[in-house]
Structure 1
Amino acid sequence: MTFLSPQDDRRIASDDAAPNFDLAERYAEREADRFDLHATHLNEMWVRVLKTIGYDVGFVRGSGQYLFDRKGARYLDLLSGWGVFAIGRNHPSLRAALMSVLSADLPNLVQLDVSVPAALLAERLLAYAPWLDKTFFANSGAEAVEAAIKFARAATGRDGLVHCGHSFHGLTCGALSLNGDAIFKKGFGSLLPNVREIPFDDLPALEAALRGRDVAAFFVEPIQGKGVNMPKDDYLAEAAALCRKYGTLLVADEIQTGLGRTGKFFAIEHYRVEPDMVLVAKALSGGHVPVGAVLTRKWIFDKVFDRMDRAVVHGSTFGKNDLAMAAGLATLEVIAAERLVENSAAKGERLLAAFRAMAERYELVHDVRGKGLMIGVEFGEPRSLKLKAAWNLLETVNSGLFCQLISIPLFEQHKVLTQVAGHGNHTIKLLPPLTLDDFDCDWVERSFDKVIADAHDAPGAVWSLGKTLAGHALKAKLG
């Protein structure tokens, strides 16, 4: 029997290879058709949304905290792909890590073997949660939630699950069962049974839900993404005590808040809590290769994988793939080397102070809240009669529509990309890359101040936009 050397393998592969596929070339060829292509082959409704609100500029490049459209204009990204690009877009260290994997001919996903990159990433992650012992890797935050549901039920022998109103834990069926926004559930039929929703930051409601001792786990975001809702200082610690009292596992969903977003590596550090499971994803990917993880206690893990014939009772085919593990390792290296957790804390403190000063000057700004670079600016009904009449007109047509009067001018006039913090929500959320610098903070403060000031000029250009949006919303309601 003749064995081929690695050099022979590469020569044969080179000889037999198909012509090189150049995505950048294809991108350039078809970029102008992007919206038609999506409307035809993907989500036409999303294309309609983008065109209606003027976001169809066609982004063609991203670097760090900046995006560039097809005309070369630069935008400050305060959305970061819903928190994915914590280290910024196309970080050179991440790119180098991925290239090193692709050039190394590693034996990826053998399955009947174990993964060295997965073990290294698990080791690094658990160092940030030293009370936990084991890691399970998945492909996304929603998959991590699904795994945590199964682990909690297996470990406790209970079916019940508890989550909070306004929560968001993903859109797969199990995760969707824990979703606090009805719009995501409508039309999808029956979800998981034995799931209870309680108000966020309400300890008596939590104790009432747990008292029957039939709840496997309480799933909670330390800071809720939909609305940037903050708990009282003692809520999570007291919730952990209640969970221990009634034999329920505490699961902290850090998929959005983790990896430095709130000025600590985990948001739970602000509240001195050690949950039974911590879920991470989003930022861990570096923005290139999806990855999610469940960090958990050994006894929970051992209840799931309790015999050799159950060694693969739960898994994810691509969960420990080498590219995802390399992306996670490189992301953690960048966060540490560039002191991004510390930068998040410092820049967040600056921006929160600036927004709180705006709240004192502008009656439309009702609240400012957040930690680190997870910030919510909430707008509300004004006191003055002229503004109140305009506000009520928009609210009658579509609750939460006012925030578009802030986010659209920010985008069109100031090249700042933001998001509304949830359906029917009055809060603009900032979730920028953790690489934000003082120049960017100046940009944010100047832009928000101008747009909010303009919104107090009624009738004016901002409220003319409001009438246009209200017309679109009314037309959509009428079909």
Structure 2
Amino acid sequence: MPIDINAIIAETRGKNFELYEEHINPVFVKVLRTLGFNRTWVRGEGAYLWDEAGTRYLDFLTNWGVFNFGRRHPAIRNALQQVMDSEFPGWVGFDAPPLAAVLARELVKRMPPGLDTVYFSNSGTEAIEAAIKFARGYTGRPSTAHLAKAFHGLTMGSLSLNGEASFRRGFEPMLPGSSEVKMGDLAGLEARLAKGDVAAFVFEPIQGKGVNIASDEYLLSAQELCRKYGTLMVCDEIQCGMGRTGRFLASQWIPDFRPDIVCLSKALSGGYIPVGATITRRAVYDSVYDSLHRAIVHASTFGMGNMAMAAALASLSVLDDEKLMDRAIVLGERFRKGIEAMVPRFEFLKGVRQRGLMIAIEFGQPESMSLRAAWAMVNKMDENLFAQAIVLPLLDDHHILTQVAGHAMPIVKILPPLNIDESDVDWFLAALEDVMIKLHKFPGPAWEVLKKLGNHALTAKKREARATA
């Protein structure tokens, strides 16, 4: 009997959290319920989601940057339908897939000079794993350097480059020789590279955790140091690439910047079929695949599938045809100006970090006595809590999905689809203003919700402490 996906969706509506809790991850379900994210979604289109009550939500989470082109983009769907209707075979194994070759050519066109060879995988973390192996193979060195607050994925090699200890806890030891340096600390970077064992310096030009933007001066100087000491520069564009900042790569805002390896994923998928890409110089690639016996020494069973390649090709076409990089610049400026105009009015609101449509809204300690007391109370309960005071009412009261930017960061991050319009920006700005007005009334309902969440967090911490004692 043929499977009926629509029937499965209908039968599990309202029961999905219980099923997920029973068979997959009960802790994550508890998090969703605590934060009020246990919604039943029934439809997605463009920048919007709808719940079972028919309420429309603005998706500024975009699954951490996957949906640069919104959901169910017709041009990408059409490309996938063509593949499904075609008799052309994929995953032959011993084959040179033509869609992969064309996609590689199109990606190379968009790269800095010298990056001419592509390896395809299935995700961002796999793209980073490939970069680590390529750098080791080319340099003959065992070690890596990465930035504090970095996030490059959660498989073992990528995890070793992670700047957040909570992700690494329980999985040590990491890859030997993995070293952390601070963004902007050129002396620290040089001291590490000077030891002569670092194969790769891996970095995000704009960090996903916190939206920390590396300065042109820092990255250009880091490039000089890497050249001096024979270390490859691996530029992680998995979240900040694919036009999000107004350039195809975020690093392309920097004149004369030439990384040795670039990693892409997330939005390259078009929001449909996972795909990762590691783009490098031919000499680096050939150092790994250096003989007939090693022609597939690093490979992926499900890499270069026709569906993934078609989705990525269509995504590149949409990015160009709809001039979405220009759109990201224009709308990003509208966000920035709107948020900056609020800063003088609201004590908690400290500023905005933004490039294109990669945006961090920063909060901090206020000046007035009563609000300082509220700030201290919340942070004493849980240093991760304050940003939820913005995320939760944006969701509950204004139907906008956003995210906390990282561990112990009073920062809310938004990653809107690149094809939103001005009314979506204004929807968000009006919502943020309303949330700020209510948050600056202490005591008040917003603070009661935070207190409740804080008590949940304290209970969880005590339970975790007992479990590890």
TM-score of the superposed pair, with normalisation by structure 2: 0.97
Tell me how far apart the structure 1 counterparts of residues 114 and 411 of structure 2 sit (CA, whole Å): 35
Q: What is the DSSP-based 3-state SS (H/G/I as helix, E as strand, rest coil) of the residue aligned with 2:120?
A: strand
1:6 matched to which residue of 2?
none
Tell me how far apart the structure 1 counterparts of residues 300 and 227 of structure 2 sit (CA, whole Å): 30
Amino acid at match of 2:129: E
Residue correspondence of structure 1 range 397-476 to structure 2 within 5 A: 397-476=381-460
Tell me how far apart the structure 2 counterparts of residues 445 and 366 of structure 1 sit (CA, whole Å): 15
1:195 aligns with 2:193: no
1:44 aligns with 2:42: no
Q: Deviations over 1:273-294 (max 9, x none)?
A: 1100000000000111000000
1:172 matched to which residue of 2?
155
2:243 matched to which residue of 1?
260
Q: What is the DSSP-based 3-state SS (H/G/I as helix, E as strand, rest coil) of the residue aligned with 1:429?
A: strand
Amino acid at match of 2:140: G
2:466 matched to which residue of 1?
none
Q: 1:363 Cα shift? A: 1.2
Q: 1:360 Cα shift? A: 2.2
Q: What is the DSSP-based 3-state SS (H/G/I as helix, E as strand, rest coil) of the residue aligned with 1:355?
A: helix
Residue correspondence of structure 1 range 19-418 to structure 2 within 5 A: 19-129=1-111, 130-272=113-255, 273-418=257-402
1:9 matched to which residue of 2?
none
Name whichever of 442-451 and 226-235 sits farther off: 226-235
Q: What is the DSSP-based 3-state SS (H/G/I as helix, E as strand, rest coil) of the residue aligned with 2:216?
A: coil
* Aligned pairs, number: 461
Amino acid at match of 2:69: I
Q: 1:22 Cα shift? A: 2.3
Amino acid at match of 2:197: D
Q: 1:83 Cα shift? A: 0.2
Q: What is the DSSP-based 3-state SS (H/G/I as helix, E as strand, rest coil) of the residue aligned with 2:387?
A: helix
Q: What is the DSSP-based 3-state SS (H/G/I as helix, E as strand, rest coil) of the residue aligned with 1:68?
A: strand
Amino acid at match of 1:394: V
Over aligned residue pairs, what C-alpha RMSD do you find?
Answer: 0.9
Q: Deviations over 1:345-390 (max 9, x none)?
A: 1100110111111122211012310200000001111111101111
Q: 1:21 Cα shift? A: 2.1
Q: 1:189 Cα shift? A: 2.6
Tell me how far apart the structure 2 counterparts of residues 118 and 200 of structure 1 sit (CA, whole Å): 35
Q: Deviations over 1:72-98 (max 9, x none)?
A: 100001110100000000111111111
Q: 1:46 Cα shift? A: 1.1
Tell me how far apart the structure 2 counterparts of residues 205 and 346 of structure 1 sit (CA, whole Å): 37
Q: 1:449 Cα shift? A: 0.8
1:8 matched to which residue of 2?
none
Q: What is the DSSP-based 3-state SS (H/G/I as helix, E as strand, rest coil) of the residue aligned with 1:401?
A: coil
Q: 1:445 Cα shift? A: 0.6
Stretches of structure 1 lacking an aligned partner (at least 5 in a row) = 1-18
Q: What is the DSSP-based 3-state SS (H/G/I as helix, E as strand, rest coil) of the residue aligned with 1:402?
A: coil
Amino acid at match of 2:77: R
Q: 1:311 Cα shift? A: 0.2
Tell me how far apart the structure 1 counterparts of residues 404 and 335 of structure 2 sit (CA, whole Å): 18
Tell me how far apart the structure 2 counterparts of residues 54 and 400 of structure 1 sit (CA, whole Å): 16
Once superposed, which parts of structure 1, at least 4 consecutive aligned residues long, lie more than 3 Å away? none
Q: Deviations over 1:119-170 (max 9, x none)?
A: 0100011100142110000000000000000000000011110000000000
Tell me how far apart the structure 1 counterparts of residues 396 and 109 of structure 2 sit (CA, whole Å): 43
Contact 1:164–1:180 (8 Å) recurs in 2: yes
Tell me how far apart the structure 2 counterparts of residues 435 and 49 of structure 1 sit (CA, whole Å): 30
Tell me how far apart the structure 2 counterparts of residues 347 and 208 of structure 1 sit (CA, whole Å): 41
Tell me how far apart the structure 1 counterparts of residues 184 and 102 of structure 2 sit (CA, whole Å): 36
Q: 1:25 Cα shift? A: 2.1
Amino acid at match of 1:184: F
Q: 1:400 Cα shift? A: 2.4
Tell me how far apart the structure 1 counterparts of residues 236 and 433 of structure 2 sit (CA, whole Å): 33
Q: What is the DSSP-based 3-state SS (H/G/I as helix, E as strand, rest coil) of the residue aligned with 1:234?
A: helix
Q: 1:233 Cα shift? A: 2.8
Tell me how far apart the structure 1 counterparts of residues 312 and 4 of structure 2 sit (CA, whole Å): 26
Tell me how far apart the structure 2 counterparts of residues 114 and 55 of structure 1 sit (CA, whole Å): 44
Contact 1:359–1:368 (8 Å) recurs in 2: no
Q: 1:270 Cα shift? A: 1.0
Contact 1:169–1:175 (8 Å) recurs in 2: yes
Contact 1:258–1:280 (8 Å) recurs in 2: yes
Q: What is the DSSP-based 3-state SS (H/G/I as helix, E as strand, rest coil) of the residue aligned with 1:367?
A: strand
Q: Deviations over 1:310-354 (max 9, x none)?
A: 100001111111110001001111111111111111100110111
Amino acid at match of 1:332: L
Identical columns (%): 48
Tell me how far apart the structure 1 counterparts of residues 36 and 340 of structure 2 sit (CA, whole Å): 29
1:12 matched to which residue of 2?
none
Name whichever of 55-64 and 273-282 sits farther off: 55-64
Q: What is the DSSP-based 3-state SS (H/G/I as helix, E as strand, rest coil) of the residue aligned with 2:233?
A: strand
Stretches of structure 2 lacking an aligned partner (at least 5 in a row) = 464-469
Q: What is the DSSP-based 3-state SS (H/G/I as helix, E as strand, rest coil) of the residue aligned with 1:258?
A: coil
Amino acid at match of 2:185: D
Amino acid at match of 1:82: W
Tell me how far apart the structure 1 counterparts of residues 388 and 45 of structure 2 sit (CA, whole Å): 26
Tell me how far apart the structure 2 counterparts of residues 360 and 445 of structure 1 sit (CA, whole Å): 15
Tell me how far apart the structure 2 counterparts of residues 437 and 236 of structure 1 sit (CA, whole Å): 33
